[in-house]
Each structure stands twice: as C-alpha cells, then as structure tokens.
Amino acid sequence: MIRWLPFEGIAAMRFMREGWIQTLFILVGVSLGVAVTVFESSILTGVQANFLRRVLTSQAHIVLLPPDEVARPLHNAAGVTEDATLQRPNQRLRSIDQWQTIRQTAAAMPGVRVVANIASGAALAVRGDATAAIALVGADPDDYFSIVRVPDYIVAGTLRLASDDILIGTDLAILLGVTVGDRLLVTGRNAVARALTITAIFDLGSKAANLRSTFVAFRTGQSLLDLAGGVTSLEIAVQDAFAAQTIAQDIAARTGVRADSWITTNAQFFTAIQAQNTSNLVISTSVALSVAFGVASVLVVSVVQRGREIGILRAMGARRGQILVVFLIQGGVLGFLGAILGSAMAAGLLAVWHAQVRQLDGTELFPLLLDPLLIGSTIAFAAVVGLLAGMAPAMQAARLDPAVAIRG
C-alpha cells in the first residue's frame, strides 16, 4: 500500500487503476484535447512571433517626417475673406526643419534605442539600355542596419556602404543584368547622377521590395536627392516595440513633427493577430469544456458503479469530506496526467511539423518554441478543470446515504 498518501489518495489511485479501461479512455481524451490546445497555441505564437520579427526587422518602430505642406488662404483686411479655391499642394521632397535638434530630443527620450538619419526618395537606375525606377534610401549603415536588418538578407557580396557603393535587391539585379562589383548609373532629383558600385545583393522575401529598394550611404543619398545637409526622415528603434505608439506621441508633442509608429502603419497586422487570438481562445475554451464534460461523465459513471463501496466506506467511518476528496483527486489527476501526456504529444507533433513545413524561401514557418509558461499553465489549467469537473460527481458520492448505498 502506498503509505505516503492519505486514505483519499490511495483510494483514488486504486479506483482509477481498477477501472483502468475507463481511466485509459478518458486520459486519451484529455491528452488529445490538451495536445490540440498546446499545438495550436504554440504554432500560433510561433507564427506570430516570426511574423512580428520580420515586420520589426524590416521597418523602423517610429518614423519622424516633416509635417504635410498645406495651402493657407491669404487674408485681406480683418473681416474680409478671399473668395478662392484652395488646392491641396503636392508634397515635395524636403528636409525636416531643425532635424539635428529633433534628433537629439528623440535620442534622449526614455526607451529610444537608436535614431538613424535618412535621405530617401525616388531615383532612376540605369544600366545600358535598361532602366528601373528605384526607392533610394541613404543612411548611415551603423545606425540604420541596426533597425532594418538588411545584413541578414544579403545573398551575394559583402556589406559595405562607402560613398560610391549601393546595395540592391535580387530582382533589380536580374532586371538590370548586374551582379556584385558592377556599376550602376543612378539619377536622382534635379538630374543629379552618380555611378555607384554594387557591393551586395539582398533578398527581402518580397519581389516588390527586391525590385525597388536600394541602399546607399547617407551623404550619397543627400547628394543624389539634392538635399544638402537635410534629412527626409528620422527612423527610430525603441527598446519595447509595443511602447512605440506612446513614445511616438511624446516625440510628436515635443518636436511638432509627424511621428508614425509601426503600430498605426500596420493596423491590419494587429487586426489579424487579434482575430487569430480570438479563434484560438474559442477553440481552447471548447476543448477545455469537452475535457471537463468527459472527466465529469466518467466520474459520474464511477460514482454509480461504486455506490455500494462508498456505502461500505461510510459504514466503516469514512467522512463525507473524505469521499468527496477521493473523487476530486481522481478528476484532478486525470486532468493533470492528461495534460502532461497531451503536452508531450503536442511537443512531438510540433517537432515533426517544424521539420516538415517550411516557407517558400526554405526558412522555418515558425520558430520551434515550447513555451514553459504555456505548458505549465496548460497543465495547471487542465488539473483545475479536472478538479472542477469532479466536483459534481464527488458531491453526488459524498451525499450518498450509506444504508441505501449498501443495499444497492
């Protein structure tokens, strides 16, 4: 007899062992339910984490831009309004006014990790008879590449951005028929043109980005875009990406520039995550309810089957509370063991799934993350669900009249 357990624990274990077929079936049921929940939650968390990582390593958390130019009506003398049709002005490429001061202010803000000066705009890449419209980004590589992880996506060449260097995407390289070491003629604003050497080719995982995006040194960008001494934007990375919106609002309030956080510019991303989380919650809740009803139904049957034994135990001096605990323990143990088995099943499935399912570019669809917190909370949750599910049958058992139960 297992004497490190009190009577209630011993009886619960023996009852489960004696009815091992029922125990096995409900354990399988609980395990499958938990496995589905853990598997689905892990995949969802992994895919979201992967997606989030890609989003956050391909754009700044906050972008500071000059305020939009607006047309203002001319006013005559007081009380006289000019009857004019105001046309919205085009947004010409221009620098942020007093950008050095704004940069210092932003860099000193709590939570800001790095600020990069950007000179970006449209340009034309020419190679022989082939031309392509490109988006030119001029930036200091030390700052900018710690925000946008272009170095992670380089597929040819080496990362070097001297004043005559340029990084281009794979699709642009194919379009223009160039490779690392070739030279490109880049024509920027006001027909400023320079011949630049391709030092590296990158693959950002998007055809449009690979065709359009190019990176040059900050001063080269200023020169090509005719922005001597100016910046078109300041791009910021913060310590906590999810605090970006608050920090952006603070910066805008202090400096008067427009501050767009990645949270506002990727609203659809958050809508998708919210939808996924909601569906995950619905599925997990349904599974938890199925597990609870499964455990409860097995224990109800067990109480009916063991009515006479419960009566005998009561005749021998078992208190109602002891009988209650015997069945509560069974519910808790079924939930707990089922959750452990289910978590192990989910871990195996995840490992197989992770090895088999890849993205189109061959990289992993999701990181293989078995969050100990998820596993631990699922096991605890399942044990609690098992306990709660055992409550009704346990109370039914505890309420049995021993004289009636013994008669059967």
Residues that bind another protein (CB under 8 A): 1, 3, 6-7, 10-11, 14-15, 17-18, 308-309, 312-320, 322, 401-403, 406
Q: Using CA atoms, how far apart are residues 198 and 304, in angstroms rounded to an integer?
A: 80
- Radius of gyration of the chain, Cα coordinates, nearest whole angstrom: 33
Q: Using CA atoms, how far apart are residues 131 and 193, in angstroms rounded to an integer?
A: 13
User: Which helix (H) or strand (E) is 124 found in, with range?
Assistant: strand 112-127
Cβ-based nearer residue to another protein, 283 or 406: 406
Cβ-based nearer residue to another protein, 150 or 318: 318
- The C-alpha torsion from 275 through 280 and 281 to 284, rounded to 10°, is 170
Q: How far is the CB of 297 from another protein (least distance, A)?
A: 21
Q: Using CA atoms, how far apart are residues 184 and 197, in angstroms rounded to an integer?
A: 6
Cβ-based nearer residue to another protein, 106 or 405: 405
Structure tokens at 150: 């272009």
Q: How far is the CB of 305 from another protein (least distance, A)?
A: 11
Q: Where are the alpha helices (DSSP H) in 241-266?
A: 244-255, 262-265
Cβ-based nearer residue to another protein, 155 or 404: 404
Q: How far is the CB of 405 from another protein (least distance, A)?
A: 9
User: Which helix (H) or strand (E) is 148 found in, with range?
Assistant: none
Cβ-based nearer residue to another protein, 6 or 89: 6
Q: How far is the CB of 315 from another protein (least distance, A)?
A: 5
Q: What angle do CA 60, 147, 274 make, to 5 degrees?
A: 50
Cβ-based nearer residue to another protein, 134 or 400: 400
Q: Per residue in 142-157, is it b (16+ CB within 10 Å) or e — as a string?
A: ebbbebbebeebbeeb
Q: Using CA atoms, how far apart are residues 139 and 233, in angstroms rounded to an integer?
A: 10
Distances (CA, A) of 197 to 127, 216, 288: 12, 10, 61
Cβ-based nearer residue to another protein, 334 or 385: 334
What letter represents residue 240's amino acid? Answer: D
Cβ-based nearer residue to another protein, 11 or 178: 11
Q: How far is the CB of 323 from another protein (least distance, A)?
A: 10
Beta strands in 128-278 (DSSP E): 130-139, 154-157, 165-169, 183-187, 193-202, 213-217, 233-238, 258-261
Q: How far is the CB of 392 from another protein (least distance, A)?
A: 21
Q: How far is the CB of 331 from another protein (least distance, A)?
A: 17
Q: How far is the CB of 299 from another protein (least distance, A)?
A: 15
Q: How far is the CB of 403 from another protein (least distance, A)?
A: 4
Q: Using CA atoms, how far apart are residues 254 and 248, in angstroms rounded to an integer?
A: 10
Q: How far is the CB of 11 from another protein (least distance, A)?
A: 7
Cβ-based nearer residue to another protein, 15 or 218: 15
User: What DSSP state is assigned to residue 88?
Assistant: P
Q: How far is the CB of 337 from another protein (least distance, A)?
A: 18
> Using CB atoms within 10 A of its CB, is residue 83 exposed (0-12), middle (13-18) or buried (19+)?
exposed
Cβ-based nearer residue to another protein, 15 or 215: 15
Select from 15, 4, 6, 3 the least CA-distant residue to 333: 15
> 79 near 256, Cβ under 8 Å?
no
Cβ-based nearer residue to another protein, 201 or 325: 325
